[in-house]
Amino acid sequence: MKIKTILIALAISSSGAFAQKIKGSDTVLPLSQKEAENYMKQNKTAKITITGGGSGVGLAALVDGTTDIAMASRKMKMAEKIKLQNAGKAVRETTIAYDALAVIVNPSNKVTQLTREQIEDIYTGKIKNWKEVGGDDITITVYSRETSSGTYEFFKEHVMNNKNYASSVLNMPATGAIIQSISQTKGAVGYVGLAYLEKDVKALKVSYDKGKTYTGPSMETAKSKTYPIIRPLFYYYTASIEKSVKPFVDYVLSAEGQKIVEQVGYVPLSK
The secondary element (H helix, E strand) that includes residue 91 is strand 91-105
- Candidates 135, 124, 115; CA nearest to 187 is 135
Residues of the chain with CATH 3.40.190.10: 18-98+232-264, 99-223
**What does the pLDDT read at residue 211?**
97
Phi-psi region of 211 (alpha: psi -120 to 50; beta: other; left: phi over 0): left
**Tens of pLDDT along 132-167?**
999 999 999 999 999 989 999 999 999 999 999 999
148 near 172, Cβ under 8 Å? no
In the predicted structure, residue 176 carries a pLDDT above the cut 70 = yes
Mean pLDDT along residues 82-89: 92
In the predicted structure, residue 2 carries a pLDDT above the cut 70 = no
Determine the Cα angle at 184 with ends 178 and 190, to 5°.
Answer: 30
**Tens of pLDDT along 36-59?**
999 999 999 999 999 999 999 999
**Tens of pLDDT along 188-232?**
999 999 999 999 999 999 999 999 999 999 999 999 999 999 999
The CATH number of the domain covering residues in 99-223: 3.40.190.10
The secondary element (H helix, E strand) that includes residue 95 is strand 91-105
Share of the chain above pLDDT 70, in %: 93
SS3 115: strand
**What does the pLDDT read at residue 270?**
77
**Tens of pLDDT along 107-126?**
999 999 999 999 999 999 99
pLDDT-derived band at 12 (thresholds 50, 70, 90) equals very low
SS3 162: coil
Mean pLDDT along residues 77-103: 95
The secondary element (H helix, E strand) that includes residue 246 is helix 242-253
The CATH number of the domain covering residues in 18-98+232-264: 3.40.190.10
Distance of alpha carbon 230 from the chain centroid: 11
